[in-house]
Structure 1
Amino acid sequence: MDDDVPPTAGTRRPRQPRQATAERRAEILRAAANTFGSKGYMSGSLTDVAEQVGITHAGVLHHFGSKEQLLVEVLEYRDKEDVRDLEGQHIPGGIELFYHLLRTARMNVDRRGIVQGYTVLTGESVTENHPARAWVTDRFRVLRDEIKTALLAVGEGAVTEELADCAASSIIGVMDGLQIQWLLDDEKVDLPVATQFAIEAILAAALAGNVRPHPLG
C-alpha cells in the first residue's frame, strides 16, 4: 500500500517526491463521496476511504488533515462539479440560472454516488454539532439568495421580495426531495422531467403573483 505519507524520522528509506497532487486529492474526494454516500458521515470511516484508493488512514489525513475537513471538501467538490463547464465556473443569473438547475438534474442521473453523498450528508447535518451543519446552512442561504435574485430579474418588477423568497425555498426543497425519491426508486421517478415540471410550476406561480390560481383556497 502507498501511504502517501513522508518518511518518519529514523527510517533509512530515501525521501520520496511529494505526492499530494490535485489528481490524488480528487481520487480521495471521489472515494469519500462514495463512502459517506453509502454509509453516512458518522459510519463511514477514513479507512473505508483509504482502501478505495490504495493508501492508509494516515495517508488520507496527510492530504486533508481531519475527517471533518475531508467532509467539507467533499461537499465543495460536488458544488465545483456542478459549475465546472460553465463560463467563469459560477452559477449564472436570470433565466439562465433555472436552465442551469435543469442541467444539474440531468447530470445527476449519471453521478448517483455524488447525489447520494450530498443527500445523506445534508440530512445528517440537521443533527446537533454535525461538522457539516454550518456549511450546509450557508450553502442553502447562498442558493436561496441566488434563486431569489434570478427570479426578481426574470419578473422585472412583477414579483415581490416575499414571493421570490418563498419560491426560492420551494425550488430547493422540491429538487432535494425529488432526489431522495429518485435514489429510492429511479424506475418510478424521472428526475430531470419531474424537476423541470416542478421548477416551471413554481416559476409560473411566482410570475403570476396575486392573480395566480389558488386551488386549495
Structure 2
Amino acid sequence: MSNVTPLDNLVCAFVETALNKLHQLDSSAKQKRKALDGTIIGVALKEIDKPLYFVISQQQIDILGQYEGQADCFIRLNFLALIDLQDNHQLTNLIKSGQLEVNGDIKVVQQFALLLTEMDIDWEDHLSNKVGDLVAHKLVYHIKQLNKQFCKQHNKAQKQLTEIITEELKLAPGPLEVAHFCDQVSDIEKQIQALEQKFLEVKL
C-alpha cells in the first residue's frame, strides 16, 4: 500500500517541473545529466524526513515520492546544508559534522550536487526577452545583491553556531585543541617508530 499522499504528489510535480524548466535554460545540464544517466538518488531533509527520489535520464529528471526498489544512492541532510552542497569541498566537512549522511558513492553525491546547484543560465538574456534590457539588468543586479547578503548572513550564522558548539557548550573541540591533539598523535607515532627501530636492531 502506498504511503504517498496527494500533497506528496503535488510537491513532487512542482519540484520536477521547476527543476526541468531550469535545466531547459541551462546549457550545461544535458552533459551533467548524461554523467548520471539511469541513476536513482533518494534525498531526505532531516527536519521533514520525507524522501524524494530523483530518477535521472539524459532527457530529464523525474521525481517520485516513493520508490519500491533500491536507490543507487541515498542522501539525508539538514536544511541549512543544502546551501553548502554548492561547494564540493564542503561535502567531507558536512559528513564529519553529521549534517550530511550518505549511503552510496560520494562521487555520485558530488555530481548530483553540481546538477542541482551549478547552472549555467544567462538570466539577464532570458529576462530581456520578456521585460526589456534595462529592467532585466536591474532585476539581475538586485537579485545578485540579495544573494550576496544571504550568503554573508549564512556564513555569519554558521560561524556563530560553531563558536557556540566549541566554546560555550563544549560539544566539539576548538581549533587549538585539535592542533594539540594532532601534535600528541604525531609524538606517539614518532615514539612507536623509535621503538620499532630499536626492536629491529636488537633482533639483528
TM-score by length of 2: 0.31
Greater RCO (Cα-Cα under 8 Å, separation 6 or more): 1
Relative to total residues, which structure has the larger helix share, 1 or 2?
A: 1
TM-score by length of 1: 0.30
State which structure, 1 or 2, has the greater radius of gyration over its C-alpha atoms: 2
